[in-house]
């Protein structure tokens, strides 16, 4: 380790050097005698205290704050908190400029305040640089254990004065990590991750929400796109409306990817709270919904490949299970008893409890309720 050099002259009130003065160096941290050396590498220890030959003092010591006491004759001169270190030896071109415009603000890498955002003109800490290293911050913990690493905390209190406690409320913003870009006049947020209070807070009770936001094109306003709430629910948002949701506490497993069912190809799965007729829907290119009631009902009513499957009694025109296929919606149905329901013309019905060859197979002849039976093989 390179030691820092400290040198000064022991003089009286008239400025005369005091040969033979005794000098003692102690650490301010614990008051103990400091280890001092005559060389930078620390290979040649010096006595402490030591006596000067001509009143000029020079020694090397590890960086820190020291109490230096010089005694000459009956006089003693004490220097407190003498800062000794190698930082001042660094090339200033490689050191970031540090500017203190006020006691509560620090600016590194520049000599004036630069507005971080159009609505936030003087943040307490800024760092500026023309390369990544000079404009970055790092926190590192060194420990041979599973202990917590470095932390970066954003806290919020409802207390109106520093140090005064005040319980936060549901919906309060606790902190934001923002990503801003220069629009030529101001820095505008393009994306952000934000923490919120998710519900009523209390002692050792702080329900949280994590928001993910982006700014749309031709806009300067963040819009929520995704969130995780205090119950572990995941929610997607489009146009300010929740359009996708899933989680263990929902009354549905997956919410619609398009709540209005307006976008082609959107898909949604609902639970019982929305009714059996809407448990699954798929928006077709013609905006016609195909859906399943539970797992027993499906239909597509538009397009050349429209199809309908009723594996149980459906809540539609027909009252028996069946399949309807093709652009003409030709149906294939089955059930007990003679057919009397409305179906597409040419549809086929199989009577599953038909006792004879004359009433097992039926064909619809008028797209209404008229059916004609055919004789089948025994």
Cα 130–132–133 angle (5° rounding)? 100
Domains, the chain, in order of start with CATH, read 4-89 (2.60.40), 298-374 (no CATH)
Report pLDDT digits (tens) over 225-277: 999 999 988 888 876 777 677 665 554 444 444 444 434 444 555 544 444 44
> What was the pLDDT predicted at 312?
45
172-215 pLDDT, tens digit per residue, is 999 999 999 999 999 999 999 999 999 999 999 999 999 999 99
pLDDT tens for 109-153 read: 887 888 888 776 678 888 888 888 888 889 999 999 998 899 999
Q: In this predicted structure, what is the pLDDT of residue 120?
A: 65
pLDDT of residue 313: 44
Look at residue 6 in the predicted model and tell me its pLDDT. Answer: 92
pLDDT of residue 320: 63
pLDDT value for 87:
65
Cβ–Cβ < 8 Å for 67, 88:
no
Q: Which residues pair with 76 in a beta bridge?
A: 71
Cis peptide before 297 (omega within 30 of 0): no
Residue bearing the bigger pLDDT, 171 or 318? 171
Q: Output the pLDDT for position 280.
A: 52
Token pair for residue 219? 């806009």
* CA dist 301 → 16, 164, 282 (Å): 107, 64, 12
Question: Is residue 317 scored above 80 in pLDDT?
Answer: no
pLDDT at 307 over 90: no
pLDDT above 60 for 18: yes
């Amino acid at each position: 380790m390179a030691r820092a050099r400290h040198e000064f002259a022991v003089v009286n009130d008239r400025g005369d050097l005091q040969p033979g003065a005794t000098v003692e160096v102690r650490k301010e941290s614990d008051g103990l005698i400091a280890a001092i050396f005559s060389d930078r590498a620390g290979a040649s220890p010096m006595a402490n205290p030591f006596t000067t030959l001509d009143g000029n003092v020079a020694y090397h010591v590890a960086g820190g704050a020291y109490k230096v006491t010089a005694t000459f004759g009956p006089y003693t001169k004490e220097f407190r908190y003498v800062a000794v270190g190698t930082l001042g030896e660094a090339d200033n071109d490689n050191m970031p400029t540090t500017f203190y415009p006020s006691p509560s603000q620090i600016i590194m890498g520049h000599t004036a305040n630069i507005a971080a955002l159009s609505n936030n003109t003087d943040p307490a800490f800024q760092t500026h640089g023309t390369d990544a290293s000079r404009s970055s911050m790092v926190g590192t913990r060194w420990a041979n254990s599973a202990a917590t690493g470095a932390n970066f905390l954003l806290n919020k209190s409802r207390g109106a004065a520093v140090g005064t406690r005040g319980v936060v409320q549901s919906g309060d913003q606790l902190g934001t990590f923002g990503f801003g870009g220069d629009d030529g006049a101001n820095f505008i947020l393009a994306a952000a991750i934000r923490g919120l209070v998710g519900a009523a807070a209390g002692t050792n009770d702080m329900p949280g929400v994590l928001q993910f936001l982006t700014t749309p094109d031709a806009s300067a306003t963040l819009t929520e796109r995704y969130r995780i709430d205090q119950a572990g629910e995941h929610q997607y948002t489009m146009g300010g409306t929740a359009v996708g949701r899933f989680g263990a506490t929902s009354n549905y497993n997956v919410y619609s990817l398009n709540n209005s069912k307006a976008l082609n190809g959107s898909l949604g799965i609902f639970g019982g709270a929305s009714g059996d007729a809407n448990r699954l829907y798929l928006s077709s290119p013609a905006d016609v919904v195909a859906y399943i009631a539970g797992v027993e009902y499906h239909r597509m009513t538009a397009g050349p490949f429209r199809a309908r499957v009723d594996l149980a009694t459906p809540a539609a025109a027909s009252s028996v299970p069946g399949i309807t296929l093709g652009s003409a919606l030709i149906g294939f149905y089955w059930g007990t008893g003679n057919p009397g329901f409305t179906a597409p013309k040419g549809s086929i019905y199989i009577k599953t409890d038909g006792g004879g060859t004359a009433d097992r197979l039926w064909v619809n002849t008028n797209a209404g309720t008229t059916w004609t039976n055919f004789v089948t093989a025994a």
